[in-house]
Amino acid sequence: MKKIIIIALLFVLSSLYAEDNFYINDNSLKVLHNAGVEINKEQRKNIDLIVKKYMPYVKQLLLEIKDIESKLNNEYKKTDVNLNTIKELIFEKKTKEADFDYIIMSCDLDILELFSNSDIKRIKYYIIFKK
């Protein structure tokens, strides 16, 4: 049951995103507000710090994934397509996407530590019954 709760919370918290200045957008906190969870300035500051900590890794992985996609497109355009190269590029892309997912989940779990058990229960209830 605990795994289900964490997965559901990750879904909600994955909607939290940072702008270029690393502040959480008010729209991203709307889900938490709708769930009845109020975030004070200290929690918001901590969330900003957590997102700022993970953001360089996320940006780097996104650039690497985009580069791999570009290589794949160039390979598809060739008249003599090398299937082994395409296979390697697809495998590399899937590996980078898995790394990206891992970093996002790590960030979400760090953010979850800021909330009390009752807040987590409210979020869980909102995810399951209100959406």
SS3 24: strand
Using CA atoms, how far apart are residues 28 and 23, in angstroms rounded to an integer?
Answer: 10
pLDDT tens track for 41-72: 898 899 889 988 999 999 999 999 999 999 99
Using CA atoms, how far apart are residues 23 and 15, in angstroms rounded to an integer?
Answer: 14
Residue 9, pLDDT above cutoff 80: no
Which range (6-20, 33-47, 81-95, 108-122) has the least confidence? Answer: 6-20
Q: What is the pLDDT of residue 96?
A: 95
Q: What is the pLDDT of residue 64?
A: 95
Give the start-to-end residue ranges of the domains of the chain: 2-130
Which range (13-27, 29-43, 114-128) has the least confidence? Answer: 13-27
Q: What is the pLDDT of residue 35?
A: 85
pLDDT band of residue 21 (cuts 50, 70, 90) is very low
Which range (20-24, 25-29, 91-95) has the least confidence? Answer: 20-24
Q: How many CB atoms lie within 10 A of CB 59?
A: 10
Query: What are the structure tokens assigned to 27, written together?
Result: 């729209």
Instruction: Evaluate whether 9 touches 123 at the Cβ level (below 8 Å).
Output: yes
